[in-house]
Every structure is written in C-alpha cells, then in structure tokens.
Amino acid sequence: MPSIVVLPFIDTSPAHDQGWFADGLSAELIARLTQIPELRVIGQSSALSLKGQAVDLDRLSGLLGVRYVLEGSVARFDDRLRITAKLVDAGSGFNLWSDTYEGGMGDLFAFQQTITEQVTLALSIRLGVGEIGKLAGSTENVEAFTLLMQAWDEYGAFTSDSVLRAIDLANRAVALDPGYARAWASLALFYLQGPWAIDPRVSLDWQSLSEQALEEAARADPEYPDVLPARVNQLTEWGEWDAVAQLFEELGFDVRRMGTDLAFQRALFLAHVGRVSEAIPIMEQVRLLEPLLDHPINVMGYLYLFAGRPAEAIAEFEQLWRGGDSVPRFTAMTGLGLALSARSEESIPVWLDRVRQVGELPEIEGFAEAMSRARDEPEAASAWLRDRFEQTDLHDYWIALCALYLGDDDLALDALRRSPNTWALWNPLTVPVRDRPEFREAIRALGLEAFWRRSAWPDFCRPLGPKTFECS
C-alpha cells in the first residue's frame, strides 16, 4: 500500500501573514487523501508538527515509514490565490508530479479536489466513481472555512485572549454555515479545554456549551468521525466514568483498529481513574503510530511521573522542549509541574526561566515568582497562594501542586477537593497526604470510589471493606 505524508504548505504571501491559511490547506488535503482506502496517510497532527523545520526526506521517510511526500506553497493576494504542489518519491528524490493553480478564493475547494486527484493518478491508484466526494464534516462556504482556520491558529497559542478569539471565530463560522460539522466539533473542543487557558474568573457554562456544540456537529453530519473521540473526551473531563468505560467496552481495545485519537482518549481515561500501569502501554503504542505528535509525549511524561519513573518523565519533557513543541506555553507549564514534583532545587529555576521565555502566562507568572522565593521565604509564598485560592484567579490544580511543594498540606487538600481534575491526585507530591480523610473525600466527590467498586481498583488505592479504602 502506498504511503504519504503531507508537509505543511509554506506561506509565500507578500506579507507572510497567511501561515494559518497554509496550515488549513495542508490539513484539508490530508483529510481528503485519508478518504482513499488504498493509501496510508500520516495523521494531521504529526504532519503539521514539521512546520518550519528543515526536512531531510530520506530521514523523514525512515521515521514515518512513508514512501511519498506532498509539499507545496500558498500565496493569497486579497481575493486571489496561488497554490503550488509537488509529489516527491522520498527514497529517490524524484519529482513525480507538480503543478501550479491560480484563481480566486472561490476556486479553493476545486483546487483541493484537483490536487487530490492528481496525487492518486501519479501513484497509480484507481479511484471508483465518487470515491473522493464531499469531505465529511466540511463546508462549501469559503469564508466559513477561512474563519475556522483562523480559529485553530488562535487556539494553538492557548492563551486566555487567543482561546476566546478562537471561540468567537468558530461561532462566526457556524453562523455562516450551520451544517459545518467540523466547525461545531472544533467549537466543542474549544469550550471543553478553554477553562485551562482562560482566567478562571471568566464565567461561562463550559460544559453545556461544549455539549451543545458537539450535538450540533453530530446533527450536521452523523458520519463525521471526530464526533466519537470528542464525546469520549467530554465524558472523561466531566467525570462520567461509567459512560466512558461502557463506550470502550463496546468499541474493543485494539489500538490499531480504534485509531490513534480514540486510543489516546482511552489512555487519558485510564490515567484519570488511576490505572496508570494500563495507560502506559497504550500511550506507547500511540507514540509508535504518531511519532511526531506532541500530546502523546506530554502525556507519557506525566504517566512515567505518576508511575514513579521520574528519569523517563524528565526525558519526555526535555524532548518536547528541544523539539519546539507546537504549544510551548503548555510544555513550559507541564514542565514546571514536573519540576515541582521532582522537588529539585536545581530544576525549579530552569523551568521558571522557560515559563518566562514563553510569556503570556499571567495566571502562572505570579506562581512562578512565588516559587522562586519559596526557598528563602516559604511563609510568604504560602500566603500568596492562599490569597490566590480565595481570589480564584489561579487554577486549583496549580495551587494544589504548589502548596504540596511548600508543605502546606491543608491548602493543598482544600484545592484538591475543589478541583475537578483528577490528575493532581496521582502526582507524587500527593503521597504524604494520601492517608488523610480529606484526600479520600476528594476522591469520593469525583465519583471515583463508586466507579472503582463497580470496575477495577487503581494502582494507588485499595478497598478496606465495603465502606472505606486506603491510598498510598
């Protein structure tokens, strides 16, 4: 079976301000080529992670196990468009096909279709009648498509302001085309993950908004494949443990058959409920299938940390940093959490410096400064944290980790009981407080004890009769 990777198209517009549009075109071509059963296509996330990198085709071919590479450029001049594309044999370097397309923005979708057909022709893939039809979840409204590409560009920055702009842009896209399933599903994700980037004092019904958006995606296109992974993601974030378990029971547990998106969500679910030893081999398989994807590396770091393998955790996070994570803000934040967990005086300044390099971290900068003073002024740092807890302008997850680092166990437990996120529970920093009644209360509030008794107990906790349990 022929295999191909679509490299991120290069923005050659006069102002070089259309990178987001070039990324959207690349993603659209990946989605179209993925519809062809006789062609193995590297996933969008892995492909787009190569943006801005000098690519050695022979090395890339070996890393991804692909024979062919589609690359090109795009330039926008107001309402005019010029796209160049070429198909290369990665082994020989031979140019199999190339062409240039010029026209108006209204020709965009026709150009995408033609490029897809030319690639299949060059690879001698015989297409059946209508085999490359309308892309699932797509739109025929160029403006709606453009707005969604801008939305994803804003979301990628993952700052409070940028995520709010992404939400606005996606809402404008679905207003133009209410049948645009991909835009609805994107909006569902923005609402789901937004609270991690947006100031906690911004009050929106995130859960309802995310659920409504995903319902609209399913209504617009019942066959849109991204709906199921998105639904699993929602249910996990909301602590609907039984519903997630039932879905995976019905789907089966073969990683290759369920696909990387669902396999990734299964590993996340297992980590959330404390079954880290089961999550690790699944995530390792996901990494083999998507070797360039950032998120599996990030999650692997956490899983190794939870499992008591700090050296491997550090290696994962260092790989992200050296590789230029697509969301460096997120890498800096998670790395800081790792540094706290390691309780290393040497590691804290390193990660604080990286946080400052990223910038645009108002909810973390104060925390970073407090940590920088923690060694000499632990009481002052703890007082600052308590004030942030009362003001609710810093996420409880970070307050809990920071308080545990400082030895303020009471504040940490208060934050854990208020936080809806289970990952803080399995951080090694919580070991000294896992025998506290407040820790068990936090677990019960999240519905975990009841779920464990109906399914399986996690790596860190065990029952003590029918009414209580212990964690270590």
> SS in 3 state form for 210-253?
HHHHHHHHHHHCCCCCCHHHHHHHHHHHCCCHHHHHHHHHHHCC
Helix (H/G/I), strand (E/B), else coil: 290:
coil
Given this model, what pLDDT does residue 127 score?
47
Given this model, what pLDDT does residue 219 score?
93
Given this model, what pLDDT does residue 367 score?
65
Give the single-character DSSP code of 426: G
* Percentage helix, strand, coil for the chain under 3-state DSSP, each rounded to 5: 60, 10, 30
Given this model, what pLDDT does residue 91 score?
81
User: For the chain, which domains are there?
Assistant: 3-122 (3.40.50.10610), 142-225 (1.25.40.10), 239-291 (no CATH)
CA distances (Å), 450 to each of 442, 453, 454, in order?
13, 5, 7
* Listed residue (13, 162, 178) closest to 82, CA to CA: 13
Radius of gyration of the chain (CA): 23
CA–CA gap between residue 126 and residue 272 (Å, rounded)? 45
Q: Considering the entire predicted model, what is its pTM?
A: 0.79
CA–CA gap between residue 312 and residue 314 (Å, rounded)? 5
Sort residue 239 into left (φ over 0), alpha (ψ -120 to 50) or beta: left
How many angstroms separate the first and last alpha carbons of the chain? Answer: 50
Give me the tens of pLDDT residue by residue for the chain, a chain 472 residues long: 788 999 989 999 988 888 889 988 998 898 888 878 788 888 776 777 777 677 778 777 777 788 899 999 999 888 899 999 999 998 888 899 999 999 999 999 999 989 988 988 888 875 444 455 567 788 989 999 999 999 998 988 777 888 999 999 999 999 999 999 999 999 999 998 888 777 777 778 888 999 999 999 999 988 788 888 889 989 998 899 999 999 888 877 676 666 788 888 999 999 999 999 999 999 988 887 777 777 788 888 889 989 988 888 878 877 776 655 555 566 666 666 666 666 555 566 666 666 666 665 555 666 666 666 666 777 888 888 888 888 876 678 878 888 888 889 999 999 998 887 788 899 888 999 999 999 999 999 999 999 999 999 999 999 999 999 999 9
Q: Give me the residues paired with residue 84 across strands.
A: 73, 100
* Listed residue (438, 324, 335) closest to 50, CA to CA: 324
Does an H or E element contain 369, and which? helix 362-372
CA–CA gap between residue 112 and residue 119 (Å, rounded)? 11
Given this model, what pLDDT does residue 344 score?
57
CA–CA gap between residue 49 and residue 294 (Å, rounded)? 8
Given this model, what pLDDT does residue 444 score?
94
Contacts of 364 (CB under 8 A, 6+ apart): 333, 336, 355, 398
Contacts of 155 (CB under 8 A, 6+ apart): 162, 163, 166, 186, 190
Please report, to the nearest 10 degrees, the dihedral formed by the alpha carbons of residues 187, 323, 346, 412 taken in order.
Answer: 20
